Structure 1
Amino acid sequence: MRIPEFAFSLILSATSASAVDRSAVEAQFRTWLDDTIWPMAQSEGVSRETFDDAFGGVSLNWDLPGLVPPGADAPTEIKQRQAEFAAPARYFRQGPVEGATAIGRQMASRHAGALAAAEGATGVPARIILAIWGRESGYGRVSIPHDAFEVLGTKAFMSTRASYFTRELIAALEIAEAGHAPERSMKSSWAGALGQPQFMPSSFLDYAADGDGDGRADIWGSEADTIASIATYLERHGWVPGRDWGFEVEVPASVSCALEGPDQGRPIADWAELGISRVGGKAFPGHELEGEGYLMMPAGRSGPAFVVTPNFYVLKDYNMSDLYALFVGHVGDRIAYGMGDFETGWGDVGSMLRSDIAAMQRDLQDLGHDVGGADGLPGFKTRRSIGRWQEARGEAATCFPEPEMKADLAE
């Protein structure tokens, strides 16, 4: 849905973005807008007036990441650290979690009518809508500083994903043509995500909703429209009304962490028969027992474990990160039920560079494991592949990459 924002560094080859003639590239950009983008926009019903208004005063933003200007070579090396895919504990720092919870409760009261309407129309619980809203834009309090046409135009013209951003640029022009955005206020993140729900433009066209009945889907200035749009997105991605997102559990040593993943689901009652239990002595809700559940261990044996439902993977459709979906479910529960921290703490894992994890993934692939791609991101396929590799060596499975494993895998 949206592109996650993360910190990273690029090491460019000899011909770098700073070495090109920027004034010449700016001229090429204006020609490209007229010769390439305008015909595409016109074919989608965008007027010349809308087009000219969108790009009036817009120039290239040379500070955006991932740019490959004409005359520059592509990056030769990328090294990245991400909270989503590094130390999981960083994603659940006390301050952000408690802040999202406290403000979420205020918003639950302030916008009770809009939340009830959205929940009634879609089946998506208000607490989940609130948690996403809080994560994406701090309930509308976080500044969304960029001109969307500057960002999308720059990335469509000279980024490593130019084709993708070209499609999003045309979608943004369609939004402007329809009059949804406030006058001169098509604001986005550095990645082009729009408004309080942080929708990419194509997602706006598919899921933005009019929650306040004024005929527009204003996700920049209308809380009711923001709430309705988040709920609509989740509903159309398959949210199952009446089911929870998941439960923190205790996983006995007799149950392998390599059983993790949405392709290894079984009824929650079956997980319970294997000895998996909810933390704190709670029972699984009776209506959940026959529903399918999936083991989810985002830090392997070095952190809390969960049995999640199909709704967890609907949350992942909003942002493809296990920890994002877990944050949303957890904060939603804290808002609605007053729950505290996870019963199990996060272990000291997740300090590796993505480039190092990618090397481990390639070694696992050479051994016949499906790691989901050597991208340096330890998702469930990588975690359980590590567990299976450890078990094949006669070791206790931990199911998370650790520095000392790198040399053993490379042998």
Structure 2
Amino acid sequence: MKALGAVVVSKYLVFFSLAAVLYLNTIAHAQTSSDNPPDPDFQPWLQSLIAEARELGIDEAIIEQALVPVTPIPQVVSNDRNQAEFVETLDEYLAKRVTDWRIQTGRERMAQHADVLADVAAKYGVPARFIVAIWGIETNYGNFTGGTDVVRALVTLAYDPRRADYFRRELLAALQILQQGHIDHADMKGSWAGAMGQSQFMPSSFVNYAVDHDNDGRRNIWTSEADVFASIANYLSQRGWQPGQRWGREVTLPDDYHERAGQWSQGDASFSCSVLRRHTVQRSLADWQVAGVRTADGADLPQADFPGSIVLPDGEDGSAFMTYPNFRAILSYNCANNYALAVAKLADSY
């Protein structure tokens, strides 16, 4: 009898425990819903967007599927405010991205795709190791391209006021890509910021730089490695890559560098990238040599006719790098010094 009673009591305890869990979950859901009430301004904004999409000739079927039911993703706005490229130190950033696995896997992928990489490198003047490094940093060599609905992510960011104009243009470009049949809406997955495919192109980058290298009639950055490699190389080439040049190097600075830094303040940028505020004006390597800048091991700077600028990614107490025009080409892919340095160091490790 005691055993039977214990079983009955146990069943009641389980029942009341489950009831308590359900009750608490209901309260938590209600609190969450009340913390994030519907934004009354969103639907009027969305209707304006839909009207613009119709003016651009986007099919009603695409509008009904991709825009009519869409709602913002709050986490996307949070991610946009806390990007790792800007909140981690260089060492923290590199430790997570230039890993032994990524180095070894990159070497294997370079061997696996040697023929097509050689063809692409010869056509665009971009070394295979930089193409593969971007592929590796962006999507782990195609293993993770993101699972977020690209249109929904871009709607979220276009509605958020911080960079609304930029993301609205990207959103309209994404709708054009759907309109042209490059991919179906259900398969248009990517990062929280709307970057797509193994190359993680924003929609405007796809429109301007994606390449059909395998000649199958599609610019397929999702499943064709040949198109992915050629698209990355075409992007870098058109954004200023200089064949035969390095990206830069780590350097040591003269003792009085920071006292004299004002005379080397940033000049006009060749393209819009906010982190160039943390670069010096471009000067000849001969000028930097006279100013007392040396390589990391204390040797003289090389004699070359291209300019360099100095960047201190972690400020005065961190490492110093002399960066060349090809570094700026990488920056155009992602406007963050830590990102460009990760790509450069991964490429150098292959």
Q: TM-score, normalised by structure 1?
A: 0.65
How far did residue 285 of structure 1 move?
A: 5.1
Contact 1:88 1:299 in 2 (8 A): yes
| Matched residue type, 2:285 | I
How far did residue 91 of structure 1 move?
A: 1.0
After superposition, give the CA deviation of every residue in 1:256-283 in whole Å (9 maximum; x if it has no partner).
4724755532221332344433234666
Task: Classify the secondary structure of the residue corresponding to 1:215.
Answer: coil
Work out the CA distance in 2 between the residues paired with 1:263 and 1:249.
14
1:41 corresponds to 2:53: yes
Aligned to 1:121: 123
Contact 2:240 2:329 in 1 (8 A): yes
Contact 1:83 1:90 in 2 (8 A): no
Q: Which moved more, 1:326-335 or 1:251-260?
A: 251-260
Q: Which moved more, 1:264-273 or 1:224-233?
A: 264-273
How far did residue 328 of structure 1 move?
A: 0.9
1:309-324 → structure 2 map (5 Å cutoff) = 309-324=324-339
Which one of the candidate residues 91, 94, 98 is aligned to 1:92?
94
Aligned to 1:191: 193
Question: After TM superposition, where is structure 1 displaced by more than 6 Å over at least 4 residues in a row?
Answer: none
Contact 1:181 1:220 in 2 (8 A): no
Contact 1:172 1:201 in 2 (8 A): yes
Aligned to 1:52: 64
| Matched residue type, 2:344 | G
Contact 1:156 1:164 in 2 (8 A): yes
1:277 corresponds to 2:294: yes
Distance 1:306 1:36, change over 3 A: same
Aligned to 2:221: 219
1:291 corresponds to 2:306: yes
How many residues get paired? 303
Task: Classify the secondary structure of the residue corresponding to 1:46.
Answer: coil
How far did residue 177 of structure 1 move?
A: 1.3
Distance 1:21 1:95, change over 3 A: closer
Which one of the candidate residues 226, 233, 240 is aligned to 1:231?
233
Aligned to 2:285: 268
Which protein shows a greater Rg? Answer: 2
Contact 2:331 2:337 in 1 (8 A): yes
1:304 corresponds to 2:313: no
Work out the CA distance in 2 between the residues paired with 1:90 and 1:330.
14
What's the C-alpha RMSD, in Å, of the aligned pairs? 3.1
Distance 1:20 1:328, change over 3 A: closer
How far did residue 325 of structure 1 move?
A: 1.0
Task: Classify the secondary structure of the residue corresponding to 2:232.
Answer: helix
After superposition, give the CA deviation of every residue in 1:9-68 in whole Å (9 maximum; x if it has no partner).
xxxxxxx9844643x859x64x755x4233322333322233334347x4314443438x
Q: Which moved more, 1:160-169 or 1:319-328?
A: 160-169
Task: Classify the secondary structure of the residue corresponding to 2:249.
Answer: strand
Which one of the candidate residues 163, 166, 178 is aligned to 2:168?
166
1:330-345 → structure 2 map (5 Å cutoff) = 330-335=345-350
Work out the CA distance in 2 between the residues paired with 1:303 and 1:154.
36
Aligned to 2:110: 108
How far did residue 333 of structure 1 move?
A: 0.7
Unmatched segments (≥5 aa) in structure 2 = 1-31, 267-278
Task: Classify the secondary structure of the residue corresponding to 1:124.
Answer: coil
Work out the CA distance in 2 between the residues paired with 1:164 and 1:249.
36
Aligned to 2:4: none
| Matched residue type, 1:43 | E
- More helix per residue: 1 or 2? 2
Work out the CA distance in 2 between the residues paired with 1:81 and 1:233.
23
Work out the CA distance in 2 between the residues paired with 1:81 and 1:190.
11
| Matched residue type, 2:121 | E
Contact 2:254 2:293 in 1 (8 A): yes
Aligned to 2:24: none
Work out the CA distance in 1 between the residues paired with 2:83 and 2:245.
34
How far did residue 213 of structure 1 move?
A: 1.3
1:141-180 → structure 2 map (5 Å cutoff) = 141-157=143-159, 160-180=162-182
Unmatched segments (≥5 aa) in structure 1 = 1-15, 68-77, 336-411
Work out the CA distance in 1 between the residues paired with 2:284 and 2:110.
33
Contact 2:289 2:300 in 1 (8 A): no
Work out the CA distance in 2 between the residues paired with 1:252 and 1:160.
39
Work out the CA distance in 1 between the residues paired with 2:311 and 2:160.
38
Contact 1:218 1:226 in 2 (8 A): yes
| Matched residue type, 2:152 | E
Distance 1:169 1:18, change over 3 A: farther
Work out the CA distance in 2 between the residues paired with 1:62 and 1:53.
17
Task: Classify the secondary structure of the residue corresponding to 2:241.
Answer: coil
How far did residue 185 of structure 1 move?
A: 0.6
How far did residue 170 of structure 1 move?
A: 1.2
After superposition, give the CA deviation of every residue in 1:124-179 in whole Å (9 maximum; x if it has no partner).
11111111111111111125111112222333345644433322221111001112
Percent of paired sites with the same residue: 37
Aligned to 1:327: 342
